[in-house]
Amino acid sequence: MSTFNGWANHQTWNVALWIGNEESLNVLARRITSGGGTYQDLAEVLVHTFGKTETPDGISFTDPALDHEELNDCLSDL
């Protein structure tokens, strides 16, 4: 399995990078996970509530290549 900067792939790395470094996204992610939510819950809120479909780098928050297990681990570390 190839990796990108220690992540499953470029898409997962990019989404995790933005969650970790963009303050409003980080705060939203922490709120969702504090209530037991997962990355899937975060993605649904971003898309359906805020109309945000992708990172500023153009990676879709619902890209099928995203490794949800890794992103859930990322969220639990916030």
Please state the three-class secondary structure of 4-42 as a single string: ECCECCHHHHHHHHHHHHCHHHHHHHHHHHHCCCCHHHH
- The predicted pLDDT at position 1 comes to 53
Give residue limits of the domains in the chain: 10-76
pTM of the prediction?
A: 0.92
Low pLDDT (below 70) residues in the chain? 1-2
User: Could you tell me how far CA 71 lies from the centroid of its own chain?
Assistant: 6
- The predicted pLDDT at position 3 comes to 83
